[in-house]
Amino acid sequence: MRIGINASFARKPGSGIGQVTINFIKELAASSSIFIDSKNEEAEFIIYLEQDLFGDIVLPENFRKSVFLPFWKRDDLLRKVLWEKFYLPRKAKKDGCDIFLSLYQCPTIFPKEIRHTMLVHDIIPKLFPEYLNNLRKQKYWEWTERAIEKAQKILAVSSRTEKDLVQHLGIDAKKITVNYIDCDEIYGKPVSQARIQKILKKYHLKPGYIYTGGGLEVRKNTEGVVQAYKHLLESNRNHPFIEEIPQLVISGKLMPQLAPLITDVEKLVRELNISGHVEILDFVDQEDLPALYSQALFFIYPSRYEGFGIPVLEAMKVGCAVITSKISSLPEVGLDSVLYCYPDDVRDIAMVMKNALTNHDLRNTLKRRGQQRAKNFSWKKFTEKIANEIKENKIQ
- Mean pLDDT split into 10-residue runs, the chain, 396 residues: 96 94 95 74 92 92 96 95 98 97 98 96 95 95 98 97 98 97 96 97 97 96 98 96 97 90 95 97 95 98 97 98 97 97 98 97 98 97 93 65
Provide the residue type at 254 as one letter. L
25 closest CA partner among 61, 51, 52, 63:
63
**What is the rounded distance in angstroms from the CA atom of residue 278 to the CA atom of residue 266?**
10
Domain with CATH 3.40.50.2000 in the chain: 2-182+378-395, 185-374
Cβ–Cβ < 8 Å for 341, 352: yes
CB count within 10 Å of CB 272 equals 16
pLDDT of residue 38: 60
Sequence-ordered list of residues with C-beta below 8 angstroms from that of 6, at least 6 positions apart, any chain: 48, 84, 88, 100, 101, 102, 103, 104, 106, 108
Asked if residue 260 has a cis previous peptide bond (ω within 30° of 0), the answer is yes
pLDDT of residue 338: 98
Q: Which residues of 351-387 are buried (b: 16+ CB within 10 A; e: fewer)?
A: bbbbebbeeeeebeebbebbbebbeebbbeebbbebb
CATH topology of domain 185-374: Rossmann fold (3.40.50)
pLDDT of residue 35: 81
Provide the residue type at 264 as one letter. D
**What is the rounded distance in angstroms from the CA atom of residue 127 to the CA atom of residue 16?**
19
Q: Structure pTM?
A: 0.95
| Crossing angle (nearest 10°) for helices 360-374 and 310-318 | 110
Superfamily of 2-182+378-395 according to CATH = Glycogen Phosphorylase B; (3.40.50.2000)
Going through the chain in order, the beta strands assigned E by DSSP cover 2-6, 44-49, 63-67, 99-102, 115-120, 153-156, 176-178, 209-212, 248-250, 278-280, 296-301, 322-325, 339-341
Residue 263 CA neighbour count, 13 Å, CB half: 25
